[in-house]
Chains A and B, each alone.
Chain A
Amino acid sequence: MSDGYASRMPTPEAAARPWQTHTVAIRDVRREVEGVSTYDLAFLDDTVREAYRFAPGQFNMLYLPGAGEIAISVSDDPRNTEAYGHTIRVAGNVTRTLAGLGVGETLGLRGPFGTSWPLSECIGRDVVIVCGGIGLAPLRPAICTLLQDRQQFGRLNLLYGARSSDTLLFEREYDDWSRQGMDVQTTVDRSSPGWLGNVGVVTLLLDQLPSFDPHNTVLMCCGPEVMMKFTVMAALNSGLSEQQIWVSMERNMQCAVGLCGHCQLGPTFICKDGPVFRYDKIAPFIDVEGL
């Protein structure tokens, strides 16, 4: 079973042609929150579709000719093989162009690339997922997998922080996730009238987390770098070791295969050594300003 959680290595054909892009069509667009939508993308070529598999945490390069290419983690359940959801926030040229496209239109996709969440490591252990903002998207495939194989794992906790209650991603799914055995807690930075949930940063939820066994827990974290840094601090305070903490990093990824040099952080290439790192691998570098 654990085998199925591993990152996908490229086929020899893909490895020899890193720039080969495949045509995908937009099957569905779901508006998640203001400025964030999920695009279900399906390969037009059957052979490509059948060969394509991704592991939770891996990313694709989405290409809009003329606008450019951007690294986007797959936010979908890995069991889906027809179309793959990509949850995207409008931020730059590519995402803005994408926002102008509708169902049926096509774009390019290369991938999957990078490392994945350590789901094999989670077997028999408690799992705490801490994420912020759009950072929930790259963890959604992991959540789907954890819940799918629920009995394999110990307690599952999701701690999720967002700017405000109307920017909580995938809110309609929280009940399902709870029902399937994951404790879901949310918090917001800015409260709004009528919001009865938590207010404050997500690291406080970690502090308040009811007893968990720090020695038998895997923590997975994704969000803005500063948020991850403080989450890690809180986790280390709670008794976790750096080897139990995994984070998903972001940098300017251009080639996605370690050849262009853009996404370096110290000795690592975020695109091929990451985006998912065991924390001790990047701990010396994450705090260095401008590295």
Chain B
Amino acid sequence: MATATEMGTNERFLTEAAFARIFEVLESQGFTVVGPTIDQEAIVYDRIRSVDDLPRGWTDEQAPGQYRLQRRDDEALFGYVVGPHSWKRFLFPPQATVSKADKTETGWQFQAVEPEPAKFAFLGVRACELAAIRVQDRVFMPGPYVDPIYQQRRDNALLIAVNCTQAARTCFCTSMETGPKCTSGYDLALTEIANGFIIEAATAEGAEILSALESDDASIQQRQAGQTARQQAVDQIERRMDTTDIRDLFLSNLEHPRWDDVASRCLSCTNCTMVCPTCFCSSVEEVSDLTGDHVERQRQWDSCFNVDFSYMNGGNVRDNTRSRYRQWLTHKLASWIDQFGSSGCVGCGRCITWCPVGIDLTEEVAAIRGDAT
């Protein structure tokens, strides 16, 4: 659906009141609206039903290993950056039944479980997250085999992007060339300014939603306000990652001493992979009743940081944290390029913020680059 091509400067202005109607418009079209809301001391993505569910007047302060909600001095609805959740939660659910087996008189009968119909409208997708969705699209959909659950959800999803107007200390989308401005991949894009939003539609579906809302052509001042707000995010980004020849850098430094160094800090707890919007590893578990005659296969998120992730023939291929961290970072930044034609990293900074001990991949990259062999 979101085959966004730039539709030029078709910018319109929505008052906040007009924007508030988007929930009924979306719901009337059968969309389940998912967006930012406050829960458990963070801005998470969950089902939302009205503007009242949005984190009005809140922002997030982020640093390696630290995230805190903070009051803003205004009433902005999207005045935060990114939280612990990502949209993969909804496109690639953490748990899903993929097949069922039943023992009958004639033997086992198998049935692949058809994905449940789901039609999501994602509200508040950031530029780095649009990039992450593009990355996962390349993982799950180009074939020959496709992931039916992802594809069903992706095909039916409406993406309402929101341009960042500020950056967290952990952001580095500019290094990964994924943001902060939303340039493609969305149906609608918003920029929050005083009293309302600059909005533009990039697809017919987006235009249809927009037309159901009361909007005006954006004035020059309003456009400038939007431009200024977006520039503020660019200006705030401090963190950098040098991606020059990064594929070869990593694949020729598989024995770099830095891997031992990071392994002494890394907890191998899986948090970075879980919050990463592109990590896609999963495993399948057998769930059976006591008779063993009805068995479901449940796919769930897994992580290359798990000891038994690489289990083979009675042993684990990657049996220490050094090899597991190396696998993750090398895959994310280097071998991903061989596999899917792009980096697996979109510069959202989640893995930095949500690492309990604050390991910062940009520092690790710099260290490896610093005395590369």
Query: What are some 12 contacts across the A-B interface (CB < 8 A)?
Result: A21-B101, A65-B295, A106-B107, A250-B312, A252-B311, A252-B312, A254-B282, A259-B147, A262-B309, A267-B335, A272-B145, A291-B254
**B280-A65 in contact (CB<8A):** no
Bound-complex Cα distance A252 to B284 (A):
12
**A19-B297 in contact (CB<8A):** yes
Bound-complex Cα distance A106 to B109 (A):
9
* Interface check B310, CB cutoff 8 A: yes
Q: Given A20-B99, A260-B281, A290 and B107 touching (CB < 8 A)?
A: no
* Interface check B28, CB cutoff 8 A: no
Contacts of B269 in A (CB 8 A): none
* Interface check A117, CB cutoff 8 A: no
* Interface check B139, CB cutoff 8 A: yes
From 147 to 202 in chain B, residues with beta carbon under 8 angstroms from any chain A beta carbon are 147-148
**B107-A65 in contact (CB<8A):** no
Chain A interface size band reads 35 or more
Q: Given A108-B101, A252-B310, A291-B323, A264 and B282 touching (CB < 8 A)?
A: no
* Interface check A23, CB cutoff 8 A: yes
**B112-A251 in contact (CB<8A):** no
**A264-B331 in contact (CB<8A):** yes
Contacts of A91 in B (CB 8 A): 313-314
* Interface check B113, CB cutoff 8 A: yes
**B292-A66 in contact (CB<8A):** yes
Chain B interface SS verdict (over half): mixed
Contacts of B283 in A (CB 8 A): 254, 260, 262
Bound-complex Cα distance A289 to B322 (A):
11
Contacts of A65 in B (CB 8 A): 101, 103, 108, 286, 288, 292, 295
Interface string of A243-277 (1 = CB under 8 A from B): 00000001110110111111010111100100000
From 303 to 344 in chain B, residues with beta carbon under 8 angstroms from any chain A beta carbon are 304, 309-314, 317-320, 322-323, 326-327, 330-331, 334-335, 337-339
* Interface check B302, CB cutoff 8 A: yes
19 extra interchain contacts, Cβ-Cβ under 8 A, other than A15-B143, A19-B99, A19-B297?
A: A18-B146, A19-B112, A65-B101, A65-B286, A65-B295, A66-B295, A68-B286, A251-B310, A251-B317, A255-B284, A261-B302, A262-B283, A264-B331, A267-B251, A267-B335, A267-B337, A284-B251, A291-B318, A291-B327
Q: Which of B98, B107, B140 contacts A105 (CB 8 A)?
A: B107
Contacts of B319 in A (CB 8 A): 290
* Interface check B40, CB cutoff 8 A: no
Q: Which of A20, A25, A68, A105 contacts B110 (CB 8 A)?
A: A20
**A259-B286 in contact (CB<8A):** no
Bound-complex Cα distance A255 to B110 (A):
16
Q: What residues make up the interface of A, taking CB atoms closer than 8 Å to B? A: 9-10, 14-23, 25, 44, 63, 65-69, 91-92, 105-108, 250-252, 254-255, 257-262, 264, 266-269, 272, 284, 288-291
- Counting chain B CB atoms within 10 Å of each CB, which of A10, A20, A66, A254 scores highest? A66
Q: Which of A16, A67, A68, A262 contacts B146 (CB 8 A)?
A: A16
Bound-complex Cα distance A67 to B338 (A):
34
**A67-B286 in contact (CB<8A):** yes
Q: Given A17-B112, A20-B99, A21-B110, A260 and B139 touching (CB < 8 A)?
A: no
**B110-A22 in contact (CB<8A):** yes
Output the nearest chain A residue to B311 by Cβ-Cβ distance: A252
**B281-A21 in contact (CB<8A):** no
Chain B interface size band reads 35 or more
Q: Which of B113, B144, B338 contacts A15 (CB 8 A)?
A: B144
**A16-B318 in contact (CB<8A):** no
Contacts of A105 in B (CB 8 A): 107
**A106-B108 in contact (CB<8A):** yes
Output the nearest chain A residue to B310 by Cβ-Cβ distance: A252
**B147-A107 in contact (CB<8A):** no
A76 to chain B: closest CB distance in Å? 21
**B280-A259 in contact (CB<8A):** yes
Q: Which of A21, A252, A260 contacts B112 (CB 8 A)?
A: A21
Contacts of A284 in B (CB 8 A): 251
**A108-B317 in contact (CB<8A):** no
**A23-B140 in contact (CB<8A):** no
B238 to chain A: closest CB distance in Å? 32
Bound-complex Cα distance A81 to B6 (A):
53
* Interface check B106, CB cutoff 8 A: yes
Contacts of B139 in A (CB 8 A): 259
Contacts of B251 in A (CB 8 A): 266-267, 284
**A20-B312 in contact (CB<8A):** no
Contacts of A63 in B (CB 8 A): 101, 110
**B145-A10 in contact (CB<8A):** yes
* Interface check B255, CB cutoff 8 A: yes
A40 to chain B: closest CB distance in Å? 15
**A69-B284 in contact (CB<8A):** yes
Output the nearest chain B residue to A288 by Cβ-Cβ distance: B254
Contacts of B286 in A (CB 8 A): 65-68
Contacts of A16 in B (CB 8 A): 146, 148
Bound-complex Cα distance A268 to B311 (A):
17
**B144-A266 in contact (CB<8A):** no
Bound-complex Cα distance A251 to B280 (A):
18
Bound-complex Cα distance A69 to B309 (A):
15
Bound-complex Cα distance A250 to B110 (A):
27
B113 to chain A: closest CB distance in Å? 7
B263 to chain A: closest CB distance in Å? 11
Bound-complex Cα distance A16 to B115 (A):
11
**A20-B112 in contact (CB<8A):** yes
Contacts of B143 in A (CB 8 A): 15
Bound-complex Cα distance A17 to B334 (A):
30
**A257-B317 in contact (CB<8A):** no
**A251-B304 in contact (CB<8A):** no
**B146-A264 in contact (CB<8A):** no
